[in-house]
A and B are shown apart, each in its own frame.
Chain A
Amino acid sequence: MKRELILIMSSSLLFGAAYKLPEQSLSGTALSAANVASCRGADCSYYNSANISFLEDKSYIEAGLTYIHLPSIEFEGYHNLFGQKVRADAKSRVENIVIPYFHYVSKEYGKFRYSFSLTFPGGLRKRWDAPVQKLYAQEFDLKTFQLTPSVAYRVNDNLSLSIGANIIYSEGKVVSDGSDINIPLKREMEGDSIDYGFNIGAALRLDSGWKMALNYRSKTTLSEEGKANLYIGLVGKRYDASVDIYLPATLTFAIAKDFYNTTLEFVYERTFWSSYEYLDFNYNPPIESATLAAVFDRPILKDWKDTNTFRVGVKYRYSNRLTLMGGYSYDETPIPQETLSYELPDSDAHIFSTGFKYQYSSNLSFGAAILYDYKKERRVVNDLIDGTFKEGGALLVTTGLEYRF
């Protein structure tokens, strides 16, 4: 039983591939993030800062909001509770979140140019109200806020290199409660952290119209530190708590080509999730309760896999003022069947997007985009779960404003 409890309650801090949120600008949403090699605005700062060298010699600002709608994930099936299979059909709560973004690119300073972005590059919220699922993830919340200052160096008219820092503030919250299924163990945990990583990029623009980009973001360990209240029944104890969460390293290769008034871009992204092998909480003072220690204080095998993401984006300049955009991505989940649970019942995704940008004046443009993330139905059979997750996915709507001066 303790093993089951360990699996139930300690596996649930991370948020899965879905906590990577690459749509961080109007074009990013409209193009399903296929906006790396061909970006031409302030959001190059985020997608590949080497590209800022090729922007017109002006300052660029883009700001906007993304509304994220996460519909219910439905689970139909059984749960292994103390060796007994119990019916555990449930729906997660619908979540609606609004996140802002901001990008800035400076004018040229000789061969150098600098930029910075304020983004929320990862995070998710998942809440379940059904008795069995509450034991895993009554509430799951991770927010990350990233400041990315970068500097680009134009080697020549065709090649630019960049380097930047990723300064990440993150907050995590976990609530899990087994009271409704007669296991009165409860955890309330909150923590935050400031951590650092880096990114490097290269952009190549060939005279033939081909554009290529290579970008690498380092792995960042979010060392969440905070407090945890752990309860058995009506009695709780308070601990200093810490846990490491990983934002994985990513390597992105993109290639784009202009065809008359159309730009086509392909992106291949490799995300190194396999660095996430175990989830290991630490408490101070050490937990003296054998039950609480067994449930909350043992390293939990995650064994995630590296993933591939393929993106394609199309920009069509309908007129001098109006640009239409569309995108598609195929995004693999890193979570193996053996360690998948309710906190992130992730699956491979098909992502479709579209949007527009309108050039209101020579300095100001605005636009809107919509993205639909279709999660494939996933049948899961592991030590705890025998059932199917379906529905879910996400709907994103982004509105943005860009100013050049």
Chain B
Amino acid sequence: MKRLLVLFIAFFIAGCGGSSDPGEIEEVKVVGGELIADYPANLLKNELVAQNKISPEDDVFGFRAYKIYYKTTDANGVEVNASGVMVVPTAVGASESVAQKLLYMQQVGLGAVVDCHGTIFANKEAPSVKISQTLEPDGAPIIFTSLAGFISLQPDYIGFGESKEHIQEYLIKKSSASSVVDFINAAKEFAKNNNIPWANGYEFYLTGYSQGGYVSMAALKELEKNDTSVLMAAPMAGPYLLDPIAKGVLSLEEISAPSFMAAVGYFYSKVYNYPVTQIIKEPYASKLDTLFSGEYSREEIDKELTTKVKELFSDEILYTYELSWFRLKLVENSVVDFAPKTPVKMVHCLGDDIIPYQISEASFELFSNVFGASDIELLALEDILQTSNRYSHTQCAPYAYSLVAKIFAQDRKVRLGY
């Protein structure tokens, strides 16, 4: 009887032998990268319609993002493992007509846009990191890929993503350019290896907002040395001339977002091996290793700093800026030092409160009148929109991106027929 009892209990236990684990995540294999988001068009469209960003009649493509790994070099010529994001339009969740349209576009070849993102300080805000975490569309690729049907490319920059352990090389011309140029080359290889139908010759458009405007201008100069596949550049609201911006900031009593200029001072000190205290006053100088460690966002950093210029910046820099190494490096790293051969549309808002419109005006004058660029245009966004409103740096970004997407799409229609 006891044996029967044991057998019966064993039968029960065997019947309960399940698990509490559905197994590992099924991963899609890609060569040279990783699929990090595959968001359907219908969910995205519903979100955008609910936010009044598009109308229900607008076409929306699905959003498939890949993280691409590549190697680049930092300001000192040291090789760095880096990352960036390629976003490709898909028909997942799209209407029948959008799916048909995409099929045609894929047969002809997809146009591509390289977008250089604006200033971020937290690693979690980097394109590849943010999309990997949320699995959702984010940033400019929503406009360029999901609404306009381009392949979007966004480098994370040195200091983010795969290179998060490296110090950010903020507004350093050389490594800003190399991180973009090397990424574009890696993206072309990635597209080849994974059958992504990038249009003939892997041609692309180049843009970026704020820091991204600066980076795209730095990259354009490098790209024009060897690469003829950049079709048009549209840098937006970039600090192309760093010296006058610094002078402007140092001449003010107060600044609304102290993190920007503090970051320039901090990262320049690190990259060029000068004491941070030569630029930033205590107690703030001692906080910056932590604040710029990649953990904190701009908003969080701003709260830890003062908005009073005389309390944030050292007396040395306030009173002897003109003679300082800092000014010298800012001049060296300004990106208005060549004549772009590529058609360039500079976009800037008249109401910009962080990077004044006059910076683009002065840069435009230098490009066209000093260096002799022949195909360059400066577009004041409020004038284009025929509005009397004046948009701040933050307010301007979505309008500027929409305008640039429209400009690129018009050019694509001429080149690719759609």
Residues of A within 8 A of B (CB): 1-2, 61, 63, 82, 99-100, 102, 104, 118, 143, 145, 169, 171, 173, 175, 182-184, 188-192, 224-229, 231-238, 288-292, 403, 405
Output the residue of B12, B26, B28 with the most chain A CB within 10 A. B12
Residues of A within 8 A of B38 (CB): 184, 232-235
Q: A61-B1, A184-B93 are in contact. Are A145 and B15 (CB under 8 A)?
A: yes
Q: Which residues of A contact B9 (CB under 8 A)?
A: 102, 118
The minimal Cβ–Cβ distance linking A141 to chain B, given in whole angstroms, is 9
Q: Give the CA-CA distance A189 to B23 in the complex, in Å.
A: 9
**Shortest distance in angstroms between B32's beta carbon and chain A's nearest beta carbon?**
17
Which of B39-47, B218-226, B380-388 is found at the contact surface with chain A? B39-47
The stretch that binds A, out of B131-139, B146-154, B177-185, B204-212, is B131-139
Among A143, A189, A190, A233, the residue within 8 A (CB) of B39 is A233
Contact bitstring B20-43, A, C-beta under 8 A = 1, else 0: 111111101000000111111011
Q: Is residue B11 within 8 Å, beta carbon to beta carbon, of the partner chain? A: yes
**Least CB distance, A89 to chain B, in whole angstroms:** 23
Is B201 close to A, CB under 8 A? no
Q: Closest residue to A238 on the B side, CB-wise?
A: B25
State whether A171 and B37 are in contact (beta carbons under 8 Å apart), knowing that A118-B9, A291-B43, A291-B136 are contacts in the complex.
Answer: no
Question: Of the candidates A1, A227, A234, which one forms a contact with B21 in the assembled complex, judged by CB atoms under 8 Å apart?
Answer: A227
B12, B15, B22, B23: most-surrounded residue (chain A CB, <10 A) = B22
Interface string of B56-78 (1 = CB under 8 A from A): 00000010100000000000000
Contact A183:B135 (CB < 8 A) given known A229-B23, A234-B28, A234-B35: no
Nearest CB of chain B from residue A392's CB, rounded to whole Å:
25
A190:B37 contact, CB within 8 angstroms: no
Residue from the list B5, B18, B64, B92 in contact with A171, Cβ < 8 A: B18
Contact A236 B25 (CB under 8 A): yes
Give the residue of A1, A188, A234, A288 whose beta carbon is less than 8 angstroms from that of B134.
Answer: A288
- Residues from chain A with a CB closer than 8 A to the CB of B133 are 288-289
10 closest residue pairs by CB, A with B: A233-B38, A226-B20, A188-B22, A236-B25, A171-B18, A234-B38, A192-B20, A1-B46, A227-B21, A288-B133
Query: Could you show 20 A-B contacts with beta carbons less than 8 Å apart?
Result: A63-B4, A118-B8, A118-B9, A145-B12, A171-B18, A182-B93, A183-B43, A184-B40, A189-B22, A190-B20, A231-B25, A232-B40, A234-B35, A234-B38, A235-B28, A236-B26, A289-B133, A289-B135, A291-B136, A405-B1
Q: State whether the Cβ of B16 lies closer than 8 Å to any Cβ in chain A.
A: yes
CB-CB nearest in chain A for B36: A235
Is A145 touching B16 in the complex (CB atoms < 8 A)? yes
Count CB-based A-B contacts (< 8 Å).
116
**What's the least CB distance linking A402 to chain B, in Å?**
13
Give the shortest distance, in Å, between A90 (CB) and chain B (any CB).
22
Bound Cα distance from A229 to B25, whole angstroms: 6
CA distance A188 to B135 in the complex (A): 17
For residue B52, CB closer than 8 A to chain A, the reply is no
Q: Closest residue to A292 on the B side, CB-wise?
A: B135
- A190-B22 CB under 8 A given contacts A169-B16, A182-B93, A291-B43: yes
A237 to B38, CA, bound (A): 12
Name which residue of chain B comes closest to A290, CB basis: B136
| CB closest residue in chain B, given A186 | B26
Residues from chain B with a CB closer than 8 A to the CB of A182 are 40, 42, 93
- Inside 8 A of A190's CB, which chain B residues have their CB? 18-22
Q: B16 → chain A, closest Cβ, in Å?
A: 5
> CA A352 – CA B39 in complex, angstroms?
50
A242 to B: closest C-beta gap in Å:
10
A232 engages B25 (CB within 8 Å): no
- Hey, which chain A residues are within 8 Å of B26, CB to CB? 234, 236
A61 partner residues in chain B, CB cutoff 8 A: 1, 5
Interface pair A143/B16, CB less than 8 Å apart: yes
B22 and A63 contact, CB distance less than 8 A: no
Interface residues in B339-381 by Cβ distance below 8 A to A read: none
Residues in A with CB closer than 8 Å to B134 are: 288-290
In the complex the two chains form, what is the Cα distance from A224 to B4 in whole Å? 32
Contact between A171 and B20 (Cβ–Cβ < 8 Å)?
A: yes
Please give me the residue from chain B that is nearest to A4 by CB atom: B46
In the complex, which residues of chain B have a beta carbon less than 8 angstroms from the beta carbon of A405? 1
CB distance from B47 to the nearest CB of A (A): 8
A229 to B26, alpha carbons, bound, how many Å? Answer: 9
A146 and B26 alpha carbons, distance in the complex (Å): 34
Chain B residues near A290 (CB-CB < 8 A): 134, 136
**A182-B93, A235-B35 known; A100+B15 contact, CB < 8 A:** yes
Given A183-B40, A233-B39, A233-B40: A143 and B18 interface contact (C-beta under 8 Å): yes
**A229–B18 touching, CB < 8 Å:** no
Contacts of A173 on B, CB cut-off 8 Å?
18, 22
Chain B residue nearest in CB terms to A102? B8
Q: Assess whether A100 is in contact with B11, with CB atoms less than 8 Å apart.
A: yes
Closest residue of B by beta carbon distance from A141: B18
Which residues does chain B contribute within 8 Å of A224, judged by CB atoms?
20
Contact A227 B16 (CB under 8 A): no
Interfacial chain A residues near B37, Cβ < 8 Å: 232-233, 235
- Chain B residues positioned under 8 Å from A145 (CB to CB): 12, 15-16
Task: Count chain B CB atoms within 10 A of each CB in A171, A235, A238, A288 and give the residue with the most.
Answer: A235
Q: How far is the CA of A233 from the CA of B42 in the complex (A)?
A: 12
Taken together as a complex, chains A and B put the C-alpha atoms of A191 and B92 apart, in Å, by 31
Cβ A232 vs Cβ B22 within 8 A: no
Question: Which of chain B's residues has its CB closest to A63's CB?
Answer: B8
B22 touches A227 (CB 8 A): yes
Given contacts A143-B18, A235-B36, contact A100 B12 (CB under 8 A): yes
Bound Cα distance from A4 to B12, whole angstroms: 40
The answer to whether B92 and A184 touch across the interface, beta carbons within 8 angstroms, is yes
> Which residues of B from 113 to 140 have beta carbons under 8 Å from A?
133-136
Per the bound structure, the CA–CA distance linking A171 and B4 in Å amounts to 26
Asked whether A191 lies within 8 Å of B20 as measured between CB atoms, the reply is yes
